[in-house]
A and B are shown apart, each in its own frame.
Chain A
Amino acid sequence: MRTLAKVIFLIIALATGVVSTTLGITANFTPATYNPNVGESLLFNVIRPVVERGSATYEWDFDGDGAYEISTGDELIRHTFDEPGHHNITLRVTATDGRRVTRMKEILVGASPLYAIRTATTIEHGAISVLITIVAREWIKAPGFVEKLPVGFKAKPVEPGEAMGAKINTSNNSLEVLFSEIAEGEERSFRYRLYPLTEAEAGCPVLNGLVSGYGTNGRIEAQICGDLSQY
């Protein structure tokens, strides 16, 4: 098991090219849903980091104030949000040898007929693969999203899915993607890649975007949840 994990880690580490900086330690987690109801007890599941020896400490910042209010060795944790809206959740993983990594994800509290999840993954040569998944809880007409493109990167759609159109809007440097409709309970996804204009500029871009569409009560607009940067 350990040996296998090591092997997998090495493969991942080599593949992602971040071996030198975060060798042997990652931080990742998934919420049970990115769009919980207000007052709902939400389960977070830490994707177990690969460490060489011993276990890690998991610290959580659920209220976004920069302070970790919970410190635990458990890989599962529950939290209830009482305020609707967007919340940033940060997980800090500390290995026994003291090395630390953090990861922040955004969720939307309060049931929304439309929301979207961003998953950003670093691939070779500093390029980032971004997957946007739009989720409809009711019939959504003309769903789409606008991603603000980070400075120093060039975007290129790779999997348009069922999009009616995708446009790099050079006037405000954003990616605009429009679908025709999503039926209740269905999803649409769209993958694009960000390539650094120069190798040197490949840093830690901040990702930011809006998903929108027309539902039963008219226009719906929400920030895209999930990763706010690449990992």
Chain B
Amino acid sequence: MKQSEKEVAMKARKISLYALPLLVTAALLFSTVALAADEAYYMVIQGEKQVQIEPVEGPAGVVDYYGYDETIFESKLPFREPDTAVIFLYRNTTSERVSLIMLLGGAGGSEGAAAFNMTGIPMGADFLVKDDEFDMRETWEISPPIGNVSWGWDAGKSDGLVLSPLEVPFELTITPGSTTGIKQVKFIHGAMAVDQETSLNTTDPIIIRGMFNKPPVAAFTASPVTPYTGEPVTFDASEARDPDGDIASYEWDFNGDGIIDASTADPIITYEFPSSGLKAVSLRVSDYEGASSRYSYNVEVTAPAVRVSRTISTAAALPGTTFKVVVRIETDTELAGAGLQEQLPVTWDVKPVENAGAAFKRSETQWVFVDQIHAGTTRVISYEVTVPDSEELVAITLPASFDICGNFSSVTPPIEVPVEGDTDIEVTDALTIKTAVAHLVPRHDTTGDTIDLRLSQRIYTDQMERALGLWVSDEAIPGTLGATCDLETMKALAAYCYTCTPVDDPFPAVPMANVVALRTIDAPVPCNNILLDYYDKDGNPAGNRFIVNVEITTDQDLYGVGLEEKLPTGWKVTPIENDGFVYKETQVQWILAGKMLAGSTKGVTYEVEVPQSESLKRAATDPCYVSCNDLLGTVDAALPCFAIDVEGDSAVAISDCLPVLVVISKWNTELDGIDITLSDKISFRQAQRAVAFWLEDAIVPRSCGEKIDYDSVRTIIAYWLTDVDICKVLPGRPSSVCEKNPCENPCEEVDKCGN
């Protein structure tokens, strides 16, 4: 009732501008003319759904348009759909007359029946088409403002009606009764070329409204235009207008998800965007007649140009120790009235170190900047925190985690951001090794190693060197309750140190490396043989030492490179060349104190002494005893993380006798005995001696009970004549003495002993 009163009043106001002198006498008539000239608006409403619609238009009369074919008793309209009720308004553009068309069923559909009850039928309206009036299943009753219609149709067929004329204003309600064969209701609207439709349900009343009301126009402004996240933004829709009335509601969708976030009668609203990005803000304004319109605008929301981060100098602290906290404030915006508030566990003592121009209030752990913080500048506030000692912490079971959190805010612009970065601090009795080393103060002449948790989380070279020293000597790392480093830990420490990575951060991403580790064994006698029970001219054991070289190459930078060699128990290793590696005697491990550059090669050389006594006992029981031992080793790194086996020479044969060719190559003709320092070539004198052995048919001393046979002597003479190393293949011959490495099959050699 109110609405119609307003409408009349509003229209009277519009008219008065043009026809004030005639108002008294001709007001009603004028108003009627004005109303007739006004454009009509149509809506379809079902439940909450409210859609503005346009009639389908055509120059033909509605009956012709419907095109009832009396031969097949159906409409010719293309909108017919199987199992569907299609409803639309049709306007004859010649007569401006508006009609309602309903179509039920269509080709391919099932048989069906439907009944509809109509109220609000305008006066003078009638069913101009009854599709099909003669069908005994159907009901056609009309007496405006009410009417009833029911249909029955066969499978694949359609029915329908034309109700006309519908004079604006009207509000026609169509209430579905029992319907079978109808699964959906579609309301078609818009120009015929434009396929627009609204889906309706088959149960609720469908209201079709025709009116002269104009829909409102939506518009709004946002301030600030480019807000920060969390900054209040004022949206002002005061500019939105209803041309022929007032706006009833403003519905806002601030993130473009189609869900109304706020609905008000007030055009002004404030909103804080929780996240940054381009936001599609949409406003729908509706008038009291239910007409509405929508306006969308993209608002770019940026994260505050203030970054506040905290660095805590350690991830863990011992009771009673002091660590350091640094808060960095970086801004791209001018800030006024800025402040930092930090929250620490109670009873923890805070001592400011650097206030960066802010006033500090100890009781609240607050800093207030008394000046402006200019765009593009950084302020650094730092303070030291002392953890209560163990008596004060007695109620807490260690280790225990604590938080330091805080926020930074400014008045202009109104920003409040949490302090990001480190928050956790663990109070513990024992630091982890990496934390301890990062805070290690290496000993001086007068003091032992100490821990200062105010130092950074980075490991510096002096700390790394001290850690290497502690590793080599198997000493405990201070502050860890007696923990000692293993190779794994040392490699990680080296990686942290040489990549400058704080120990609480993950390692930086590095490319995978191709690493090759190659071992070369330089044994005292050819074919990697160790000769026991051999003494040099001074009477010292000499055949039981050999030299090992491990050469490592990489195509990428490596950090924390370790080498571990596994040798039989009791074998003594003495490093000769460490090439920058630090050697740990107790474990036969090396770690590279530094970064290994891409494309570089490092070589570790060491001497191994095989214990003479123990092995001899075993050898004595079998004159041909040959013991084979493998050296196993790995090279690995912390960054990139990999582990590879050392390739190359690995087998070492231990014996107290030698292959006969080896004996001859080591024969000293002056002393008439072997001298393992001699070369691997056969000299004239050695060949001569071999010939004599052959003629004497005697067992060659130091051989494994062998004699020199015809083949052997010829081989020896061939090596003498050709100057070829006995470990190499003779020209034109398939194999050399080393092909018959005793390690390949020790028993083959042993068989010659005649046992």
Q: Which residues of A contact B (CB under 8 A)?
A: 141-142, 144, 146, 164-165, 167, 169, 176, 178, 180-181, 212-214, 218-219
Contacts and interface: CB of A to CB of B under 8 A. Distances in A.
A205 to B, nearest CB: 21
Nearest to A181: B695
Given A164-B717, A165-B721, A167-B721, A218 B672 contact: yes
Interface string B709-740: 00000000100110000000000000000000
Contacts of A165: 687, 717, 720-721
Interface in B638-673: 669, 672
B713 to A, nearest CB: 8
A167 B688 contact: no
A218 B698 CA distance: 13
Contacts of B690: 142
B481 interface: no
B720 A167 contact: yes
Contacts of B717: 164-165, 178
B133 interface: no
B685 interface: yes
Interface in B293-332: none
Contacts of A176: 684, 720
B689 interface: yes
A144 B684 contact: yes
B630 to A, nearest CB: 37
Contacts of A180: 691, 695
A37 B672 CA distance: 28
Contact of B689 (A146, A167, A214): A214
A142 B683 CA distance: 14
Given A142-B689, A219-B669, A219-B672, A167 B684 contact: yes
B692 interface: yes
A6 B684 CA distance: 46
B684 A141 contact: no
A141 B672 contact: no
A178 B691 CA distance: 9
A165 to B, nearest CB: 5
A141 B696 contact: yes
Given A142-B687, A178-B717, 10 more contacts: A146-B684, A164-B717, A165-B687, A167-B720, A176-B684, A178-B687, A214-B688, A214-B689, A214-B696, A219-B689
A211 to B, nearest CB: 11
Contacts of A167: 684, 720-721
Contacts of A146: 684
Contacts of A219: 669, 672, 689
A13 B407 CA distance: 121
A164 B715 CA distance: 12
A219 B669 CA distance: 8
B688 A142 contact: yes
- In this complex, the member of B669, B684, B690, B695 whose beta carbon has the largest number of chain A beta carbons within 10 angstroms is B684
A167 to B, nearest CB: 5
Interface in B475-490: none
Contact of B695 (A141, A169, A212, A218): A141
5 contacts: A141-B692, A165-B721, A178-B684, A178-B688, A214-B689
Interface string B681-711: 0001101111110011000000000000000
Contacts of A181: 691, 695
Task: From B687, B692, B695, name the one whose CB has the most chain A CB atoms within 10 angstroms.
Answer: B692
A141 B691 contact: yes
Interface in B345-362: none
* Interchain residue pairs A-B with the least CB separation, the first 6: A142-B691, A214-B692, A176-B684, A141-B692, A141-B695, A142-B692
A218 B692 CA distance: 9
Most chain-A CB neighbours within 10 Å: which of B689, B691, B717? B691
Nearest to A170: B723
Contact of A212 (B688, B696, B720): B688
Given A141-B696, A219-B672, A212 B685 contact: yes
A181 to B, nearest CB: 6
Nearest to B690: A142
Contacts of B720: 165, 167, 176, 178
A182 B194 CA distance: 124
A212 B689 CA distance: 10
A167 B669 CA distance: 19
Q: Which of A142, A144, A181, A218 has the most CB of B within 10 A?
A: A142
B691 A164 contact: yes
A219 B672 CA distance: 9
A181 B717 CA distance: 14
A213 B688 CA distance: 7
Contacts of B685: 212
Contacts of B691: 141-142, 164, 178, 180-181
A30 B248 CA distance: 150
B679 to A, nearest CB: 11
A48 to B, nearest CB: 40
Contacts of A218: 672
B686 to A, nearest CB: 11
A141 B691 CA distance: 7
A141 B698 CA distance: 13
A167 B681 CA distance: 14
A146 B669 CA distance: 14
A105 B711 CA distance: 41
Contacts of B688: 142, 144, 178, 212-214
A178 B682 CA distance: 13
Contacts of A141: 691-692, 695-696
Given A165-B721, A219-B672, A142 B695 contact: yes
Nearest to A139: B695
A141 B693 CA distance: 9
Nearest to A169: B684
B665 to A, nearest CB: 15
A178 B692 CA distance: 11
